[in-house]
Amino acid sequence: MRLSISIVNWNTTELLRRCLRSIYANPPEADLEVIVVDNASSDFDEAALRAEFPQVHTIANTENTGYARGNNQAIEASSGDYVLLLNPDTEVRPGALQALVDFMQTHPDAAAAGAKLVRPDGSTDQCCRGFPSPLALAGEYFGLSGIFPRCRLLGAYRMTWFGFDRVAEVDQVMGSCMVISRRVLENIGAFDEQFRIFFNEVDWCFRAKQAGFKIYFLPDAEVLHLGGQSTKQVKNEMRLESQRSLIKFYRKHYRGRIPSPMYLLALAGIWLNMRLIRRQGRELRD
């Protein structure tokens, strides 16, 4: 098996069907398997999905185990040389899957490659980022990345200067469409399940780069991305969860590795951002 596709679904089953149709309408030339992990969705009908897509392997969880655990379940059940993480709110364009497989086959140094994610209005999603170092977060939290978007230093986290028109080595790509190497999975392990929803792919890319592998952005693989269709159902809580996961990332990767004042200032900035999110949530409820 050359390519395994992992799709973790939560309450987006109609979008999942559209995603699956796009996969089978635009398959790669190589052997393909698709594994759908449903996290106890209220709208998921496993029998109906199997009737429409009998070739899909389904895993139906009785509770929401999180995005990281769902992908780990699919990885455990898969056999492909490469595993593509694909969100259910995506639709693959012609040639995208083949481009990802071809790239991974010709770049043995690649731990992962990310597709070019395109929004329904035709604009490009911010589908690759830098790691959230203290300096990168400062540029983000103080709004400097928006004031100086062409500055690589101040816009380091969201890569506001990046053109998305060339193959490039990057720090991280979005897990919405991210193909990873089985060989690297066996080397560094799967996803850290303490990052249930957010920062699991960031953590994985960080570990892969520490192990000497590379992460690439690939513009030739184009994928439609509606964006946040699961998380927007509980939007404010997901914003807070993202910041909690960022704190976990800092504790795992930066504690003891950067100067203590810088580490503590970064954590303080994250905590202040969480307070702002909570205040905005209260104002919306009022």
Question: Smallest Cα–Cα separation from 59: which of 160, 51, 72, 258?
Answer: 72
Residue 53 lies in a domain: yes
Claim to verify: residue 272 and residue 210 sit in the same structural domain? no
Q: For a pLDDT cut of 90, what percent of the chain falls above it?
A: 90
The pLDDT assigned to 252 comes to 98
Residue 59's beta-bridge partner residues? 37
Residue 70 lies in a domain: yes
What CATH number does the domain containing 19 carry? 3.90.550.10
Claim to verify: residue 196 and residue 123 sit in the same structural domain? yes
Q: Is the pLDDT of residue 68 over 80?
A: yes
pLDDT, tens digit, for every residue of 137-170?
999 988 899 999 999 999 999 999 999 999 999 9
The structural domain count of the chain equals 2
Strand positions, DSSP E, 133-271: 168-170, 172-173, 177-181, 214-225
Q: How many residues does the chain have?
A: 286
Claim to verify: residue 73 and residue 195 sit in the same structural domain? yes
Claim to verify: residue 201 and residue 105 sit in the same structural domain? yes
Claim to verify: residue 80 and residue 180 sit in the same structural domain? yes
CA 270 to chain centre: 21
- Mean pLDDT, range 270-279, rounded to an integer: 91
The pLDDT assigned to 283 comes to 67
Q: Determine the structural domain holding residue 26 and report its residue range.
A: 3-127+164-229
